[in-house]
Amino acid sequence: MIEVADGVLVATSRVMSTTSTVLHGGGEALLIDPAWLPDELDALADALDARGLRVIGGFATHAHHDHLLWHPRFGTAPRWASPATATLARDERAALVAALGADFPTALVDLMGRVEGTDAALPRASTPAGFAPELVVHDGHAPGHTALWLPEQRVLIAGDMLSDVELPLPFDPDDLPAYLAALDLLEPYVECAAIVIPGHGLPGSNAVSRLDADRRYLADVVAGRTPSDPRLANPGMPAEYERLRAMVARA
Ligand SMILES: [Zn+2]
């Protein structure tokens, strides 16, 4: 794990550079999107033990299988998400379980997606000393997608937005307007952020240029121009570009 700000630790999975974020203070920890592979979740539990941290809560940024994970060793603290995320995690459970693959351990499958919806802020009992996360809920990438803004630390935990490796991924059938609105909603936080932590990719101090790149890419696709975004060279991204082009053509 690397420490990107006081009390903010980030671990990175070997699958799709998926990040797990740990906020800790006073010996207590909040886990955001712990991921992904069983041995990595186990190693995260080891790392928490080594630091003497007790898990007092979890948070899932959105209802995709790689952001809803948990491990028995993290314990039974409440796990939170936006109301829309919690509803999707329940209603789409069969598809989310299938996305984990047949080989995923049963104990982890059982724990996947067991989140409760919370409207405004995280309950105090789930928030480590020194943190007052603000939930920035929107419908970019997934309905009820949530970024966490840490005003004291000036850290923006962006979920699957503002990635340096993934292109903007609005989801079918057509949430491109919602995605653009989400970027607008995130803009004031981006402008204040010392560090942005994407759900996939590297934490960086360049939140503003990431937001600009996302807007430029989407504007290019909408206008029918070929984007020059370097992220197009990353695995899976050419297919996402084609999917977005088809989405725009249908609109
Ligand atoms: Zn996602």
Give the model confidence (pLDDT) of 144-161 as tens digits. Answer: 999 999 999 999 999 999
Ordered by where they begin, the domains of the chain are: 2-250 (3.60.15.10)
Give the separation between CA 209 and CA 229, rounded to whole angstroms. Answer: 12
Residue 171: what pLDDT? 85
Residue 100 Cα to ligand 1 midpoint, Å, equals 13
Q: What is the pLDDT of residue 33?
A: 98
| 20 φ/ψ angles, rounded to the nearest 5 degrees | -115, 135
What is the average pLDDT value for the chain, to the nearest integer? 97
Where are the alpha helices (H) located in the chain, listed in sequence order?
A: 38-50, 83-91, 93-100, 106-111, 176-192, 207-223, 237-250
Predicted pLDDT at 179: 96
Taking the C-alpha atoms of residue 36 and residue 110, their distance in angstroms, rounded to an integer, is 15
Q: How far is the CA of 71 from the centre of ligand 1 (A)?
A: 19
Task: Say how far apart CA 118 and CA 115 lie, in whole Å.
Answer: 9
- Could you tell me the distance, in angstroms and rounded to a whole number, from the CA of residue 43 to the centre of ligand 1? 23
What's the rounded Cα separation, in Å, for the pair 25 and 48?
A: 12
Q: Give Cβ neighbours of residue 106 (< 8 Å, ≥ 6 apart).
A: none
CA of 88 to the centre of ligand 1 (A): 13
Distance 140 CA to ligand 1 centre (A): 10
**Cα of 237 from ligand 1 centre, angstroms:** 14
The pLDDT-based confidence of 64 (bands split at 50, 70, 90) is very high
Higher-confidence residue of 171 and 129: namely 129
Average pLDDT (67-90) is 98
- Tell me how far the alpha carbon of residue 179 lies from the centroid of ligand 1, in angstroms: 13
Distance 235 CA to ligand 1 centre (A): 15
User: Which band of pLDDT confidence, cut at 50, 70 and 90, is reported for residue 248?
Assistant: very high
Q: How far is the CA of 89 from the centre of ligand 1 (A)?
A: 12
Is residue 138 pLDDT above 80, yes or no?
yes
Q: Looking at residue 196, what is its pLDDT?
A: 98
What pLDDT sits at residue 25? 98
Distance CA 1, CA 84 (A): 30
> Residue 49 — left, alpha, or beta (φ > 0 → left; ψ -120 to 50 → alpha)?
alpha
Q: For residue 174, name the pLDDT band (cuts at 50, 70, 90).
A: confident
Q: From the CA of 52, how far away is ligand 1's center (Å)? A: 31
The angle that helices 176-192 and 237-250 make with each other, rounded to 10 degrees, is 120
Indicate if the pLDDT at residue 60 is higher than 90: yes
Whether residue 190 contacts residue 11, with contact meaning beta carbons closer than 8 Å, is answered with no
**Cα 64 to averaged position of ligand 1 atoms, centre (Å):** 5
Mean pLDDT within 166-194: 94
pLDDT of 73: 98
- Which residue matches tokens 């459970």? 93
- How many Å apart are CA 236 and CA 172, to the nearest integer? 16
Residue with tokens 């928030």: 127
Q: What is the pLDDT of residue 250?
A: 87
62 C-alpha to center of ligand 1: Å? 7
Q: Read off the tokens for 47.
A: 């790392």
pLDDT beyond 80 at 172: no
Spatial separation of the C-alpha atoms in residues 134 and 169, rounded to whole Å: 23
Provide the percentage of residues in the chain whose pLDDT is more than 90: 96
Res. 119 pLDDT band, cuts 50 70 90: confident
Q: Of 194, 64, 60, give the one whose Cα is nearest residue 135.
A: 60
C-alpha 232 to ligand 1 mean position (Å): 18
CA of 141 to the centre of ligand 1 (A): 7
pLDDT at residue 175 greater than cutoff 90: no
Per the CB < 8 A criterion, the answer to whether 185 and 208 are in contact is: no
Rounded to an integer, the average pLDDT of 215-226 is: 97
Strands 19-25 and 28-32: antiparallel
Higher pLDDT: 250 or 210? It is: 210
Residues of the chain above pLDDT 70, percent: 100
